[in-house]
Each structure stands twice: as C-alpha cells, then as structure tokens.
Amino acid sequence: MFFLFTIFTDLNIGCMSDMVSNINSLRTKIPASVKLVVVSKTRSVDEIMNIYNCGERCFGENRVQELLDKKKKLPMDIEWHLIGHLQTNKAKSIIPFVSMIHSVDSFRLLETINSESVKAGKVTDCLLQVHIAEEETKFGFSAEELADANVSDLISKMSNVRVCGVMGMASFTSDTNQVRKEFRNLKLCFDALKKKLFAPKEYFREISMGMSGDFKTAIEEGSTMVRIGSLIFGERVKK
Ligand SMILES: *Cc1c(COP(=O)(O)O)cnc(C)c1O
C-alpha cells in the first residue's frame, strides 16, 4: 500500500516538473514585449499553483463558472483574463475583478460590460474579437463591421470600458501560410481601428493572437499577447 502510494506521488511530481520545464522553455521563445496569458481552462488548482509558483500571474479561462470557482481557491494577486464567449447575463459576476475580457464579440455585450462596470465603479479593459478564421463557427466581429462609421460613436459613448485592442483565432490547420494570412488580416484590422478611432489613445495597443500551435507565427505577425495552455500543461483531455 505504502509502496503504491509512493509510486503515484512520484508520477505526480514527475508530471509537475514537466510543466516547470515547459514554462521555462516557452519563456525563451516569447520576447519581453509580448505578454503571456497562461490558459488554465480544464486544469486543476494544483496545476495552476505549480505555474503560479514559477512566477506566472496572468491566467486565462474561457468559462465564467470555472473562472469563478477557481478564483475562490487561488491567490488574490492573479490577473484573470476571460478569453471565451461571454453571455450578457453572466458579465455581472466577473466584472468586479476581471483584468481583461478578450472575447467581446458584439456591441450589445460591450454595452452590458459598460453598464455593469458603471455599477461596479470600475473601468474594464476589453478586446474586440475579430473573426479571422475560415471556419464558420467561431465568434467575433467581421472586419467590415468594425470598419463601419458608427463604431466610433458607439464606443465613445461608453465611459467604463477601455477598448485596448483586438483578439483573434486563426483556423485550426497545419497550413502555416493560411494561419499567417489570417494573423496578418487581424493586424490590418488593428491598424485600421487605431488610425480611425484610437490614434491618440496609447492604451489601444494589444493584438491578442497566438496559441500553442501557432504562437511563433503570431509573434512574427505582430502579436502583443499570446494565449497558451497545452504547451505548458500538456494536451487537454477531451471531456
Ligand atoms: C483554449 C484556448 C487557448 C489555448 O489553447 P492551447 O492550444 O491549449 O494553447 C487560447 N485561446 C482561446 C480562446 C482558447 O479557448
């Protein structure tokens, strides 16, 4: 019995130390100007603490309930980012503490975030999610929608959101040229918005693009934030 226990403990430690070497190796591949958001969805509190103890403080979750559950059990100085689709009726629960919402995919949602932020007495940093992939199912604005003249008025009316940039997800493909083209489109979309709406605003500077499989290409194409999970924690077990 004791023997078995020892084996399991060792296995566990083995796996945790892999994560430490993963994060150390990943850090050498990300320039200092690019922020790492450690994507901790589906990972346990122990796994997250392991990476926290390596010095990481910025974690990203894609589901509100999971984010709320984990936040309660983890240190207060973690900077939580929401990276997945947010339903308007769930915005209220995360606004008081969330550091950034990457996945704003409609003006209705942006308005809700604004009014909840007014109530919470804070200004919430947001990114506009742009649909850049060929796949149909992904959430986000189209580049055309954001090029609309009314966008400027809409955003300027919202006192308690700070639109800091854009976010996008490339197609899930091994075709690097396709992925590069999509990231390049996101950068063009960022540049156009910057010029049109945010030129004097120094806070409009983030391009959140790049995941485990494509972060190198994303950085080459101008990413300022990469969102990485599997490369740190290992492959996610499909539920
Ligand atoms: C899961 C997820 C990631 C990270 O994916 P990995 O392939 O594990 O690095 C990044 N961004 C979003 C929006 C995600 O949902």
Helix (H) or strand (E) holding 26: helix 2-27
In Å, how far are 21, 23, 34, 140, 212 from 28, measured between CA atoms? 11, 9, 12, 31, 14
- 175 or 136, higher pLDDT: 175
How many domains does the chain divide into?
Answer: 1
- Is 238 part of a structural domain of the chain? no
Q: What six digits make up the tokens of 90?
A: 């769930």
**Alpha-carbon span 94 to 210, nearest angstrom:** 24
Contacts (Cβ under 8 Å, ≥6 apart) of 9: none
Which of 12-21, 65-74, 82-91 has the weakest average pLDDT? Answer: 12-21
- Mean pLDDT across 21-44: 97
Nearest to 216 by CA among 166, 180, 169: 180
- Mean pLDDT across 4-14: 49
Q: pLDDT tens across 136-153, in order?
A: 766 899 988 998 878 888
CATH number at 187 reads: 3.20.20.10
Count of helices and strands (H, E) across the chain:
10, 8
Per-residue pLDDT, 135: 79
- Is 102 part of a structural domain of the chain? yes
DSSP 157: T
- Is 104 part of a structural domain of the chain? yes
Tell me, in angstroms, the distance from the centre of ligand 1 to residue 140's CA. Answer: 15
Which domain does 170 fall in, by range?
A: 2-232
Tell me, in angstroms, the distance from the centre of ligand 1 to residue 165's CA. Answer: 18
> Of all atoms in ligand 1, which is nearest to the CA of residue 167?
13
Instruction: Write out residues with Cβ below 6 Å of ligand 1.
Output: 39, 41, 62, 83-84, 169, 211-213, 227-231
Whole-prediction pTM value? Answer: 0.93
CB atoms within 10 A of CB 238: 5
Q: Match 């894609």 to its residue by tokens.
A: 62
- Is 237 part of a structural domain of the chain? no
**Alpha-carbon span 20 to 15, nearest angstrom:** 9
- Is 93 part of a structural domain of the chain? yes
Q: Is the model's pLDDT at 2 over the cut of 80? A: no
Q: Is the model's pLDDT at 170 over the cut of 50? A: yes
Strand 35-39 relative to strand 100-104: parallel, antiparallel, unpaired? unpaired
- Is 34 part of a structural domain of the chain? yes
Per-residue pLDDT, 10: 44
Tell me, in angstroms, the distance from the centre of ligand 1 to residue 169's CA. Answer: 9
Q: What six digits make up the tokens of 192?
A: 């156009």
- Is 76 part of a structural domain of the chain? yes
Query: Are the beta carbons of 64 and 49 closer than 8 angstroms?
Result: no
- 215 or 150, higher pLDDT: 215
| Residue 52: φ, ψ to 5° | -55, -45
Q: pLDDT tens across 109-125, in order?
A: 999 999 999 999 999 99
- Is 111 part of a structural domain of the chain? yes
